[in-house]
């Protein structure tokens, strides 16, 4: 996953002092080359490891005591469990709870990736389209397999809406097919573009503060504070949207509209 180098490096336009794209550059920490394939341990991979460790610590350590009356950390873990469980029950029915571990992992990973990216000098894993596209592709392929496993060949009826006039069928099937196949693209681009645009905007406004100096820099600084708050909202919202759309797609596969 961490093989694409120069994703952001090509974007950087020379030695600009306030290059807003510099933060997305992938750097090799531990160069590795197996059979001509670049599998270096990069800063992107490092942050993925940090995210997984943090999520594991957050859930495992906080539930260690298993107190009947939860403490602070335990209530946070229970809160996140309830949040995702309710999301699945409302959007995919109780049948969807079979897929709770998957959706919970997806949600926590994206949430922690987005939130860690908000720390200055941290790397935002989800700001690279290859990462989000693989996540979306796993959802897409998984949902398709679930649909065929549950309904057999009848799953293809998803593309032919019931009750539509027969004359319109050829057109409708094409439209439904295209909208189904673009799901991984829209799912991944939404997350990636939000992260990329947000972090670029923060960097551009931060450079305004430096450029205007002590006299005029206060106005963009105030805007920066507001935008940072907005970015935290977006970071949570995009993880939520990714998870809820996964639930909606699962509902399609389980219940056929």
Partner 1 sequence: MEAEAAKFIGAGIACIALAGAGLGIGTIFGNYLSAALRNPSAAQSQFPNLLLGFALAEATGLFGLVVALILLFVV
Q: Give me the residues that bind partner 1 (CB under 8 A), please.
A: 10-11, 87, 186, 189-190, 193-194, 196-197, 237-238, 240-241, 244
Q: Which is nearer to partner 1, 45 or 247 (CB)?
A: 247
Cα dist. 146→46, 71, 248, 251 in Å?
Answer: 32, 38, 13, 10
Of the pair 87, 202, the CB lying nearest partner 1 is at 87
11/226 with CB nearer partner 1: 11
* Residue carrying structure tokens 């708050």: 229
DSSP 102-169: HHHHHHHHHHHHHHHHTSTT---GGGSHHHHHHHHHHHHHHHHHHHHHHHGGGGGGGGS-TT--GGGH
Shortest spacing between CB 95 and partner 1, in angstroms: 20
Q: Shortest approach of partner 1 to residue 46 CB, angstroms?
A: 25
Q: Is 85 helix (H, G, I), strand (E, B) or coil?
A: helix
Give least dist CB 139 to partner 1, A. 16
Question: Which of 51/129 has CB closer to partner 1?
Answer: 129
Q: How far is the CB of 156 from partner 1 (least distance, A)?
A: 27
Nearest distance from C-beta of residue 202 to partner 1, angstroms: 15
Q: Kindly calculate the radius of gyration of the chain based on its CA atoms and give it in whole angstroms.
A: 22
Residue 42: Cβ-neighbour burial (10 angstroms; 0-12, 13-18, 19+): buried
Nearer to partner 1, 48 or 196 (CB): 196
**Three-state SS at 1:** coil
């Amino acid at each position: 996953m961490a093989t694409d180098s120069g994703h952001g490096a090509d974007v950087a336009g020379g030695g600009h002092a306030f290059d807003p794209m510099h933060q997305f550059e992938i750097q090799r920490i531990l160069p590795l080359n197996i059979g001509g394939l670049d599998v270096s341990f990069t800063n992107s991979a490092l942050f993925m490891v940090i995210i997984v460790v943090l999520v594991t610590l957050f859930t495992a350590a906080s539930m260690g005591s298993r107190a009947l009356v939860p403490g602070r950390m335990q209530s946070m873990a229970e809160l996140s469990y309830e949040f995702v469980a309710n999301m699945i029950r409302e959007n995919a029915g109780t049948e969807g709870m079979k897929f709770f571990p998957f959706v919970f992992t997806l949600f926590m990973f994206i949430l922690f990736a987005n939130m860690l990216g908000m720390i200055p000098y941290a790397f935002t894993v989800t700001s690279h389209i290859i990462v989000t596209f693989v996540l979306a592709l796993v959802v897409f392929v998984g949902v398709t397999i679930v649909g065929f496993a549950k309904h057999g060949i009848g799953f293809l009826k998803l593309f032919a809406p019931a009750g539509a006039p027969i004359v319109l069928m050829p057109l409708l099937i094409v439209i439904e097919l295209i909208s189904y196949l673009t799901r991984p693209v829209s799912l991944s681009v939404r997350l990636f573009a939000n992260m990329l645009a947000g972090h670029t905007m923060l960097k551009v406004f931060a450079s305004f503060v430096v450029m205007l100096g002590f006299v005029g820099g206060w106005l963009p600084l105030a805007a920066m504070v507001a935008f940072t708050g907005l970015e935290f909202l977006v970071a949570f919202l995009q993880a939520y949207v990714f998870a809820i759309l996964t639930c909606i797609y699962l509902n399609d596969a389980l219940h056929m509209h």
